Protein backbone atom coordinates (compact mmCIF):
# COMPACT_ATOMS: atom_id res chain seq x y z
CA UNK A 1 0.00 0.00 0.00
CA UNK A 2 1.48 3.36 -0.94
CA UNK A 3 1.45 6.56 1.13
CA UNK A 4 -1.78 7.90 -0.37
CA UNK A 5 -3.55 4.55 0.13
CA UNK A 6 -2.63 4.44 3.83
CA UNK A 7 -3.99 7.92 4.36
CA UNK A 8 -7.18 7.23 2.37
CA UNK A 9 -7.80 3.94 4.16
CA UNK A 10 -7.30 5.52 7.57
CA UNK A 11 -9.66 8.42 6.76
CA UNK A 12 -12.37 6.09 5.43
CA UNK A 13 -12.13 3.73 8.38
CA UNK A 14 -11.99 6.53 10.95
CA UNK A 15 -14.92 8.35 9.33
CA UNK A 16 -17.16 5.35 9.92
CA UNK A 17 -15.88 4.50 13.41
CA UNK A 18 -15.86 8.06 14.75
CA UNK A 19 -19.36 8.62 13.33
CA UNK A 20 -20.61 5.50 15.10
CA UNK A 21 -18.90 6.02 18.47
CA UNK A 22 -17.41 9.50 18.66
CA UNK A 23 -13.84 10.60 19.21
CA UNK A 24 -13.56 9.12 22.70
CA UNK A 25 -15.43 5.90 21.87
CA UNK A 26 -12.75 4.56 19.53
CA UNK A 27 -9.25 3.57 20.55
CA UNK A 28 -6.20 4.08 18.40
CA UNK A 29 -5.75 0.29 18.41
CA UNK A 30 -9.28 -0.21 17.04
CA UNK A 31 -8.60 2.32 14.31
CA UNK A 32 -5.37 0.67 13.25
CA UNK A 33 -6.84 -2.84 13.33
CA UNK A 34 -9.95 -1.84 11.35
CA UNK A 35 -7.81 -0.02 8.76
CA UNK A 36 -5.29 -2.86 8.58
CA UNK A 37 -2.34 -0.61 9.37
CA UNK A 38 0.05 -0.25 12.28
CA UNK A 39 -0.60 2.26 15.04
CA UNK A 40 2.55 4.09 13.98
CA UNK A 41 0.88 4.96 10.65
CA UNK A 42 -1.78 6.99 12.51
CA UNK A 43 0.95 8.91 14.30
CA UNK A 44 2.98 9.31 11.11
CA UNK A 45 0.15 10.64 8.92
CA UNK A 46 -2.03 12.39 11.48
CA UNK A 47 0.06 12.93 14.61
CA UNK A 48 -2.25 10.62 16.57
CA UNK A 49 -5.94 9.87 16.98
CA UNK A 50 -7.02 13.47 17.54
CA UNK A 51 -5.21 14.58 14.40
CA UNK A 52 -7.01 11.85 12.49
CA UNK A 53 -10.33 13.02 13.93
CA UNK A 54 -9.53 16.60 12.91
CA UNK A 55 -8.77 15.41 9.36
CA UNK A 56 -12.05 13.49 9.24
CA UNK A 57 -13.98 16.56 10.38
CA UNK A 58 -12.21 18.75 7.84
CA UNK A 59 -13.04 16.32 5.06
CA UNK A 60 -16.66 15.95 6.14
CA UNK A 61 -17.26 19.70 6.40
CA UNK A 62 -15.30 20.66 3.28
CA UNK A 63 -18.51 20.26 1.25
CA UNK A 64 -19.78 23.43 2.96
CA UNK A 65 -17.45 25.46 0.73
CA UNK A 66 -20.11 25.11 -1.99
CA UNK A 67 -22.40 27.53 -0.13
CA UNK A 68 -20.33 30.45 -1.47
CA UNK A 69 -21.23 29.51 -5.04
CA UNK A 70 -24.91 29.65 -4.12
CA UNK A 71 -24.43 33.14 -2.69
CA UNK A 72 -22.63 34.28 -5.85
CA UNK A 73 -25.18 32.88 -8.30
CA UNK A 74 -26.58 35.35 -10.78
CA UNK A 75 -30.16 34.49 -9.90
CA UNK A 76 -32.98 35.54 -7.62
CA UNK A 77 -33.65 34.52 -4.03
CA UNK A 78 -36.09 31.74 -4.97
CA UNK A 79 -33.55 30.10 -7.24
CA UNK A 80 -30.92 30.40 -4.50
CA UNK A 81 -33.27 28.83 -1.95
CA UNK A 82 -33.95 25.95 -4.33
CA UNK A 83 -30.22 25.49 -4.94
CA UNK A 84 -29.63 25.51 -1.17
CA UNK A 85 -32.22 22.73 -0.74
CA UNK A 86 -30.78 20.80 -3.69
CA UNK A 87 -27.24 21.15 -2.28
CA UNK A 88 -28.38 20.09 1.21
CA UNK A 89 -29.95 16.93 -0.15
CA UNK A 90 -26.93 16.16 -2.32
CA UNK A 91 -24.58 16.89 0.61
CA UNK A 92 -26.40 14.45 2.86
CA UNK A 93 -26.53 11.76 0.17
CA UNK A 94 -22.83 12.09 -0.66
CA UNK A 95 -21.69 12.32 2.97
CA UNK A 96 -23.91 9.87 4.87
CA UNK A 97 -21.98 10.33 8.13
CA UNK A 98 -21.96 14.13 8.03
CA UNK A 99 -25.10 14.61 10.13
CA UNK A 100 -23.68 12.37 12.85
CA UNK A 101 -20.66 14.65 13.10
CA UNK A 102 -22.89 17.69 12.82
CA UNK A 103 -25.15 16.66 15.72
CA UNK A 104 -22.35 15.20 17.80
CA UNK A 105 -20.27 18.36 17.56
CA UNK A 106 -23.30 20.59 18.27
CA UNK A 107 -24.34 18.63 21.36
CA UNK A 108 -20.93 17.53 22.66
CA UNK A 109 -18.31 19.71 20.98
CA UNK A 110 -14.70 18.64 20.79
CA UNK A 111 -11.84 21.08 20.70
CA UNK A 112 -12.18 21.09 16.89
CA UNK A 113 -15.68 22.54 16.90
CA UNK A 114 -14.64 26.19 16.86
CA UNK A 115 -11.99 25.71 14.16
CA UNK A 116 -13.80 23.38 11.74
CA UNK A 117 -17.51 22.89 12.44
CA UNK A 118 -18.65 26.29 13.66
CA UNK A 119 -17.18 28.27 10.74
CA UNK A 120 -18.79 25.91 8.19
CA UNK A 121 -22.22 26.05 9.82
CA UNK A 122 -22.02 29.78 10.51
CA UNK A 123 -21.08 30.55 6.90
CA UNK A 124 -23.93 28.41 5.57
CA UNK A 125 -26.46 30.08 7.85
CA UNK A 126 -25.14 33.58 7.07
CA UNK A 127 -25.49 32.91 3.34
CA UNK A 128 -29.01 31.60 3.86
CA UNK A 129 -29.92 34.61 6.02
CA UNK A 130 -28.58 36.88 3.28
CA UNK A 131 -30.75 35.12 0.69
CA UNK A 132 -33.82 35.54 2.89
CA UNK A 133 -33.02 39.24 3.42
CA UNK A 134 -32.57 39.68 -0.33
CA UNK A 135 -35.99 38.09 -0.87
CA UNK A 136 -37.60 40.39 1.69
CA UNK A 137 -35.98 43.50 0.17
CA UNK A 138 -37.15 42.40 -3.29
CA UNK A 139 -40.72 41.90 -2.01
CA UNK A 140 -40.54 38.23 -2.97
CA UNK A 141 -40.74 37.10 0.66
CA UNK A 142 -43.01 38.56 3.34
CA UNK A 143 -41.48 41.55 5.11
CA UNK A 144 -42.47 40.25 8.56
CA UNK A 145 -40.22 37.18 8.21
CA UNK A 146 -37.33 36.98 10.62
CA UNK A 147 -34.39 35.99 8.38
CA UNK A 148 -32.50 34.17 11.14
CA UNK A 149 -35.50 32.09 12.24
CA UNK A 150 -36.39 31.35 8.63
CA UNK A 151 -32.85 30.21 7.80
CA UNK A 152 -32.74 27.94 10.85
CA UNK A 153 -36.15 26.46 10.01
CA UNK A 154 -35.09 25.79 6.44
CA UNK A 155 -31.79 24.19 7.41
CA UNK A 156 -33.48 22.18 10.15
CA UNK A 157 -36.22 20.85 7.92
CA UNK A 158 -33.90 19.58 5.21
CA UNK A 159 -31.43 18.06 7.67
CA UNK A 160 -34.12 16.43 9.80
CA UNK A 161 -35.38 14.52 6.78
CA UNK A 162 -32.03 12.69 6.75
CA UNK A 163 -31.50 12.64 10.50
CA UNK A 164 -34.83 10.90 11.04
CA UNK A 165 -34.32 8.18 8.41
CA UNK A 166 -34.05 5.33 10.90
CA UNK A 167 -37.14 6.42 12.83
CA UNK A 168 -39.28 7.11 9.74
CA UNK A 169 -38.20 4.39 7.32
CA UNK A 170 -41.43 2.47 7.88
CA UNK A 171 -43.64 5.28 6.57
CA UNK A 172 -41.45 7.80 4.68
CA UNK A 173 -39.83 7.01 1.34
CA UNK A 174 -36.20 8.17 1.68
CA UNK A 175 -35.16 6.92 -1.75
CA UNK A 176 -32.83 9.15 -3.83
CA UNK A 177 -35.25 8.71 -6.74
CA UNK A 178 -37.65 10.88 -4.75
CA UNK A 179 -35.26 13.83 -4.34
CA UNK A 180 -36.81 16.03 -7.06
CA UNK A 181 -40.25 15.53 -5.52
CA UNK A 182 -38.82 16.41 -2.11
CA UNK A 183 -37.27 19.60 -3.51
CA UNK A 184 -40.64 20.61 -5.00
CA UNK A 185 -42.41 19.91 -1.70
CA UNK A 186 -39.94 21.98 0.29
CA UNK A 187 -40.15 24.84 -2.20
CA UNK A 188 -43.96 24.72 -1.96
CA UNK A 189 -43.80 24.84 1.83
CA UNK A 190 -41.43 27.82 1.77
CA UNK A 191 -43.18 29.72 -1.00
CA UNK A 192 -46.84 28.90 -0.34
CA UNK A 193 -46.96 27.88 3.31
CA UNK A 194 -49.12 25.14 4.67
Q: Within a 13 Å sphere around the CA of 163, how many CA atoms are in the beta-carbon half?
A: 13
CA distances from 53 to 9, 32, 145, 175 (A): 14, 13, 39, 30
Q: Which structural domains are found in the chain, ordered by start?
A: 3-57 (1.10.10.60), 60-192 (1.10.357.10)
Q: How many separate helices (H) and strands (E) can be counted in the chain?
A: 11, 0
Residues 117-152: b if buried by 16+ CB within 10 A, e if exposed: beebbeebbebbbbbbbbbbeeeebeeeeebeebbe
Spatial contact of 59 and 11, defined as CB atoms under 8 Å apart: yes
Quote the pLDDT of residue 191.
Answer: 87
Quote the pLDDT of residue 3.
Answer: 57
pLDDT tens track for 7-39: 899 999 999 999 999 999 999 999 999 999 999
pLDDT tens track for 108-161: 999 999 999 999 999 999 999 999 999 999 999 999 999 999 999 999 999 999
> Given pLDDT bands bounded at 50, 70 and 90, which one contains residue 187?
very high
Measured between its terminal Cα atoms, the distance across the chain in Å is 55
What global pTM score does this model have? 0.91
Amino acid sequence: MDKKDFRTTLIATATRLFAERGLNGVSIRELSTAAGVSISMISYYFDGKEGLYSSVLSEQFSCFEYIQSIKERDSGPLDKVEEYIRWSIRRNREHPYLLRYYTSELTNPTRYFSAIVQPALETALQVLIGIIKEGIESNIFREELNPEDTALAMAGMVNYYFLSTLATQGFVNHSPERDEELIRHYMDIFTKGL
